[in-house]
Chains A and B, each alone.
Chain A
Amino acid sequence: MNGVGNANAGVGRAASQVHRFLNEVWRLQPLYVSLYAILLSFVVGGVLISIIGVNPFTAYWALLRGMVGGGDQIAGSVARSVPFIGSALALAFAFRAGLFNIGAEGQLLAGGVTAAFVGALSWMSDLPGIVAIPLILIAGTMGGAIWGGIPGVLRAKTGAHEVISTIMLNSLVLFGVRWMVNSRDPVVLRDTDSTVPRTDPISETAVLPELVDSQPTLHVGLFALVGICFVVAFLLNRTTFGFEVGTVGLNPHASHYAGINVNRVIVASMAVSGSFAGLAAASEISGTNGFFQPGTFFLMGFDGIAIALLARTNPVAIIAAALLWGSMLSGAPLMQQEADVSIDVVRIIQAMVLLFVAADAIVRYLFRVRELDQSPFKATSIEGAV
């Protein structure tokens, strides 16, 4: 008994030594608190897997191989993560302006259908790729921006709460695109040669070049979405517009008295937010699918909320969070196939990751991590971290 206690104390002392070293030398506390949170989530998931009579290590080994077990798996995981970057940015950017944009699901659909429409126009095949590809991406971006801008305008002009209007617009666009893609009389966007409801395939010239022939395809859209994260980081931290967005988010009244046009910032932030979701959708249409189907983006906006919050709305951290998210989803089928564990375990682990990252007090208590005085990642308030 005594020995165990001593060993525990010893481990604790050693751990705190390591922590102090990591803090002082590299200021890595936010990183390792997050890593502990991930570890803890897998422990919880492992308990659940053992309850149904499967060895958790077998299941996790299959999951890991599904995620990063080889070149194809890695490429597939990255490809799966790419659109999540856009849907997470859509939430994160609006959040900086104090707006809660839960309309990424709808903005993805609006952007996707616009991109598919423009991509399938007959004259697109006459254009060279260098013109056609930017055109389809811009079309999708605009589609998302318009659908995101509507709740912004409603908020600024009438005070309608963006939570309610984005929920409504999500459903509206879903029914709208379903009609466009399903309807045979009149034919709107449906590919009449296809047995499943989908739009006409986009022109060959508008297809984003492929990087790796994985499942799903890894394409150049990766650079567009990773690049945009750095652009957003620059925009928020180094430009007047970014400053205005952050100020409105922190205190709209003070911003108003300081001479910032609050309504303009609200509309612009919502439109910019929507444009990220639109871009993600366009890159998927152009690089992966080649046509539009409403089911493609199901739950992608919903996951984007979680990813953005996991990254504490930091645009660069979103890349890492999206990678974690996408690769887990991408690896799950192998786990189901080999260990006969339901894919839903991954969703539970994801929820736990978000939980432990947010409630870092639990992690700090379990792993004896002392709180830094000026932690930039303090979990109690996202606004504080901004």
Chain B
Amino acid sequence: MTTVENAAGIAGTSSQARLDRQSVTGLVFGFLGVALIVGVAPAISSSSRRFNFEPPPDPAGIGFDPPTWVTAIGVLFLLTAALGFAPPAARVWASPARLLSALAVIPLVLVLSLALSDNPSTNIVNLFNESLVLATPLALGSMTGLWCERSGIINIGIEGTMLAGAGIGYMTYATIGDAQSTGWLWFSILISVLAGGLVAALLAVLSIRFGVNQIVGGVVINLFALGLTGFLRSEVIVKSGITTGVGTSEFGLPLLSKIPVIGDQVFRGQPIYWLMYVVVIGTWVVMYRTPWGLRVRSCGENPHAAETLGVNVVRIRYQSVILGGLIAGLAGAWFSMESQARFEDNMTNAAGFIALAALIFGKWTPWGAFGGALLFGFSRALGTRLQFLGVEVSGFEIPSEFLQALPFVVTLVVVAGAVGRSIPPAAAGQPFQRSK
């Protein structure tokens, strides 16, 4: 895998390439800005639209006039483009301006889709909340990847680890709790977490003890989990007859959920969703604010130097891979006991790979990866919402497949243009052998 990263280095390092990317990004924003101001703003309906903050009846919200907003965002894009070519003194603003413009794409998409639909209003607080909920397994999965890769073990088995957690957890719930009782639900979630840890331990033994190529190890995990959970489903879950049940229930955070208008929407949620925040914040604190976290990162960057300083590289790698697996097990429980209370074959449906994409998107940092997960969650929520609104462009309703594909296009564009080179931990993928 190192060779893979080296190739990335060559492909993206030359300063010429970087300059090119800046000016290309500038040109793209300039073109988009002109198109929005001259082409789109006059063409769309100028009748007033509304963003609501709460469900009907009589919701609070803000009304707006689509052409004005589109023009404003177009001006922002033009300014960003101009800053790219400004004298060096003004260039310090170019980078924040690009970030702001990239973020402005979200309101732009919302304004445009509302302007093109027959519905005059939509609840955006609810939309953002759905995005966060859908991002839960992706954020957890990317934290799994983060712990493994920052310690130097590439993990493409996140998908399989999640699937094993989902399947084994639900199997436990169905066989001993009849998928009904609350006490057993918590026990089963715990079993999911432990199952994730156990699967990750297999990856750890393979890659650390036996020095197996880590990509191969990950593929083994994915295949094994697919087979094992399919086997358990047909031999245990289906034969027990309990194929669906009761999942975790929502609760509101004390005090915060009493905030008027948004409180009851934003601060109500299911337990694994709340745990996701605990895991993300905890990951950041432990990885960047504790000695152990520093050791983990050092094992991923230069294990031999770490060893010289007295760090037990092998032990640290075991610990972080298994910790990552526990997190992936929790993500698995989200699928089979929170989002739905059932288990289906291949239920995670490539979420583990998307979590990996979010991790790379976030440049192997906790908040970046969380941001990547949010982007996917948002696009997925938006896709569903747009389908519901029925967005039409000159008489043709946009097919639902296009909307579902939207997050993938956005990521591809962002990774190729705005984010560009993403540097993995230097030692990720290299087997480590203790010095004699």
> Taking beta carbons and an 8 Å cutoff, which residues of A are in contact with B?
48, 52, 97-100, 102, 154-165, 167-169, 171-172, 175-176, 178-179, 182-183, 248-253, 256, 262-263, 266, 302, 305-306, 309, 342-352, 354-355, 358-359, 361-362, 379-383
Contacts and interface: CB of A to CB of B under 8 A. Distances in A.
Given A178-B401, A342-B234, A158 B4 contact: no
B10 interface: yes
B7 A172 contact: no
B227 A347 contact: yes
A152 B146 CA distance: 25
B6 interface: yes
Contacts of B357: 163-164, 167-168
Contact of B223 (A100, A161, A347): A347
Nearest to B231: A344
A350 B6 contact: no
Contacts of B421: 159
Range of interface residues on B (Cβ < 8 Å): 35 or more
B216 A358 contact: yes
B412 interface: yes
16 contacts: A48-B231, A52-B235, A100-B1, A100-B4, A159-B422, A168-B411, A175-B401, A182-B401, A252-B3, A263-B11, A306-B219, A348-B231, A358-B213, A380-B211, A382-B213, A382-B215
B221 to A, nearest CB: 8
B360 A164 contact: yes
A113 to B, nearest CB: 13
Interface in B179-222: 206, 210-213, 215-217, 219-220, 222
Contacts of A160: 412, 415-416, 419-420
Of A102, A252, A263, A349, which is in contact with the most chain B CB atoms at under 10 Å from its CB?
Answer: A252
B7 A350 contact: no
A253 B3 CA distance: 10
Of A157, A344, A345, A362, which is in contact with the most chain B CB atoms at under 10 Å from its CB?
Answer: A344
A256 B10 contact: yes
A240 to B, nearest CB: 19
Contact of A309 (B216, B227, B415, B422): B216
A361 B401 contact: no
Contacts of A176: 401, 405
Interface of B: 1, 3-4, 6-12, 17, 21, 206, 210-213, 215-217, 219-220, 222-224, 226-231, 234-235, 350, 353-354, 356-357, 360-361, 399, 401-402, 404-405, 408-409, 411-412, 415-417, 419-422, 431
B412 A168 contact: yes
Given A168-B411, A344-B228, A348-B231, 14 more contacts: A97-B7, A100-B215, A158-B420, A161-B360, A163-B360, A165-B415, A175-B401, A252-B7, A344-B229, A344-B230, A351-B223, A351-B226, A358-B212, A358-B217
B21 A262 contact: no
A305 B412 contact: no
A100 B219 CA distance: 12
Given A164-B360, A182-B401, A252-B3, A354 B216 contact: yes
Closest 4 CB pairs of A and B: A159-B12, A347-B227, A344-B230, A98-B3
Contacts of B6: 98, 251-253
Contact of B4 (A99, A154, A350): A99
A169 B412 contact: yes
Mostly helix, strand, loop or mixed at chain B's interface?
Answer: helix
Of B211, B215, B224, B416, which is in contact with the most chain A CB atoms at under 10 Å from its CB?
Answer: B416
Contacts of A351: 220, 223-224, 226-227
Contacts of A169: 408, 412
B380 to A, nearest CB: 11
Contacts of B11: 155-157, 159, 262-263, 266
Contacts of B412: 154, 160, 165, 168-169, 172
A158 B219 contact: no
B141 to A, nearest CB: 13
A355 B205 CA distance: 12
A167 B402 contact: no
A380 B212 contact: yes
Nearest to B160: A351
A248 B234 CA distance: 46
Contacts of A381: 213, 431
Contact of B399 (A179, A305, A350): A179
A348 B224 contact: yes
Contact of B210 (A250, A349, A350, A359): A359
B228 A359 contact: no
A158 B216 contact: no
Nearest to A298: B346
Given A158-B12, A172-B409, A345-B231, A167 B356 contact: yes
A380 B214 CA distance: 9
A321 B435 CA distance: 37
B231 A252 contact: no
